[in-house]
Amino acid sequence: MGLFETSISFVARSERRKQILFLLNESPLSQPEIMKKTQMYKSHNSRTISELVEKKLVLCINPEDRGFKFYKITSLGKKVVEYLKKL
């Protein structure tokens, strides 16, 4: 199984992952904006974003800023979203 297929399986197994990935497909967002739109607890939000970054589906635009990080979807993440939209 390739990276794309593994990524689809990884995202599809979690509503939180799907929700954040679909949000970031619309536009880059800060972590507080993601929390507000998803209504997730901060810890769930942080963990889910970290998982998506680790799998190279999401990228932190300003990793040096400790207080207000912005995230955007990667090209792999966009491909996964497009595939999941078709299901």
The CATH code of the domain that includes 28 is 1.10.10.10
What domain range is 11 assigned to?
Answer: 3-86
Asked whether the beta carbons of 31 and 46 are under 8 A apart, the reply is yes
pLDDT > 90? residue 5: yes
* 19-77 pLDDT tens trace: 999 999 999 999 999 999 999 898 999 999 999 999 999 999 999 988 889 999 999 99
Which phi and psi angles does 13 have, rounded to 5°?
-75, -10
pLDDT of residue 7: 97
Q: Cα(5)–Cα(52) distance, rounded to whole angstroms?
A: 15
Q: Give the count of domains, the chain.
A: 1
| Predicted TM-score of the model (pTM) | 0.93
The closest of 29, 19, 32 to 70, measured between CA atoms, is 29
> Which has the minimum average pLDDT: 6-15, 58-67, 73-82?
58-67
